[in-house]
Structures are given as C-alpha cells and as structure tokens.
Amino acid sequence: MAALLLDSSIRLWVVLPIVFITFIVGVLRHYVTQLLQSDKKVDLEQVSDSQVLMRSRILRENGKYLPKQSFAMRKHYFNNAETGFFKKVKRKVVPKNPMTDTSMLTDMMKGNLTNVLPMILIGGWINWAFSGFVTTKVPFPLTLRFKPMLQRGIELLSLDASWVSSASWYFLNVFGLRSMYSLILGQDNAADQSRIMQEQMTGAAMAMPPDSNKAFKSEWEALEIVEHKWALEKVEEELLSKDLNFRVIHVEINQTIVGKQFSFTHT
C-alpha cells in the first residue's frame, strides 16, 4: 500500500482534542473521587498488634544497645512460655463478607460511578464523534496481531498495523497519561486508570483481614533465636583512654561559629 499522508487538520481537530478531553476527565475524576471518599474506620486491635510487632522488631535490631537485664525483661514480656504476649494473646480472624458489608458495597458503587461509567460514556462519545479517523502512526513496525488493538473502528486489511485509529488513540491516552497525572496531581492520585484497575483486581485479597496469630508466631520465632551482645561494653574505658585535645576542639568550634556569622551577614 502507498504511503499515507495525514491532513494537518486531524492533529488540531482529532488528536489534540482527544488528549485534552482524556486529561480533563482524569483530573475531574480525581477531585470527584476525593469528594466522595469516606473515612475508613480504623480497627484499634489491628493498630495495637502492628505496634507490638514493631516494638519486637526494634528490640531485635537495636537490643544490642540495651543492658542484658533490660533486654531480657523485654524479651520475657514478649516470649515467655506462659505469660508472654505472643503466646498468651490469640486473635479471632473473622473474614468479612463483601455482600453484607455496607461500607464495602458503597465504596464499590462509588468506584464504578467515578471510574467505569465515565470511561464508558467518554469512550462511546469519542467513538461516535471521531469515528473513522486515522490519527497517528507509531515509529516502529508492528505485526498484524496489533491491528485489532490499534485500529479499532477501522476495518482495512491493507492498512499497515502501525497506524492508530481515533478510538484506539483514546484508550492509549487513558493508560498513557500516568506521568502527567503524577506530575500535576501527585503520586497517589485517583486519575490513573491503570492503577485503579489494578487495585480493583487485587481488592478481594486486600479485603481479607491480616492473620495476627501467624504474625505473632513468626515474630516469636525470630525474637527467640536472638542472642544479646551488648555493643556498649567497656565504652567508658575506650572513651577515657583516648587523648582528647580540648584546645584543638575549642578552636574548631570557634572557627565554625565565626564562619556561620560571616555567611549570615553577607546574605
């Protein structure tokens, strides 16, 4: 097939309007999602368990800076066979049913209202208003398997697969404006359609509450094998054995203060 030359008016009346409309719809989706977003209820028991696990992990990592008796007391609180926190506390894990939880159903309806519905409406309108246009061409050759994806709405077997139709150009913008959304709206924004779809796919796994009993067991095993070795042993003797030249230290401190005052007066 002979090389195609696109009219420059297509760039002004098809390509740029689709980019502009897609971007504006994403920004509006972000702010509408923020308005409809409800405050999630915080489970005090889960927060308490996470803080206990954090304290135990900090004890494992920085226990060498505590005396042996202090470390043993904290370890006894967590890992004692009879009264230890990780042995005594047993949490009941109750899986939530999304069909009976009104808050999850409400969030699902809000997500469909702000994400799926605008995508269907705007996509249908663009397919109706800009149907049949060839908008651009990718700068590398493609196989025929890409034709259904890049040439939606154009049924030409002789057309090269590198050309992009108007409908496909819209979907490319929907998933390709992520960097622009992150630059203008921030990293965690509601305009990124690809991120929202990924969260919806993993939503079922995220809805399950964490099993605190398994976390307690693994943390108990990790803390049980820790052997205390005090890192500050004989630190007093090492400090006193060093020859400290207080005159040199005093001169360096004075020079630092004078330099800061000089830079402050010249700014």
Q: Do the Cβ atoms of 185 and 30 come closer than 8 Å?
A: yes
Burial of 109 (0-12, 13-18, 19+ CB in 10 A): exposed
Please tell me the least confidently modeled range out of 19-28, 97-106, 225-234, 258-267. 258-267
Of 106-120, 142-156, 211-225, 249-263, which has the strongest mean pLDDT? 211-225
Q: Report the share of the chain in percent with pLDDT over 70.
A: 79
With 70 as the cut, is the pLDDT of residue 200 above it?
no
pLDDT of residue 204: 45
With 80 as the cut, is the pLDDT of residue 46 above it?
yes
SS3 of 109-139: the string is HHHHHHHHHHHHHHHHHHHHHCCCCEEEECC
Select the more confidently predicted residue: 253 or 52. Answer: 52
For the whole prediction, is pTM greater than 0.75?
no
For the stretch 104-108, contacts whose Cβ atoms lie closer than 8 Å and that sit 24 or more positions apart, written own/partner, are: 104/207, 106/38, 107/38
Mean predicted confidence (pLDDT) in 52-66: 92
With 70 as the cut, is the pLDDT of residue 67 above it?
yes
* Domain boundary assignment for the chain: 8-225
Select the more confidently predicted residue: 54 or 267. Answer: 54
d(C-alpha 141, C-alpha 248), whole Å: 71
**Residue 1's pLDDT band (cuts 50, 70, 90):** low
d(C-alpha 131, C-alpha 25), whole Å: 20
**Residue 196's pLDDT band (cuts 50, 70, 90):** low
Q: Report the share of the chain in percent with pLDDT over 90.
A: 17
With 60 as the cut, is the pLDDT of residue 229 above it?
yes
**Residue 92's pLDDT band (cuts 50, 70, 90):** confident
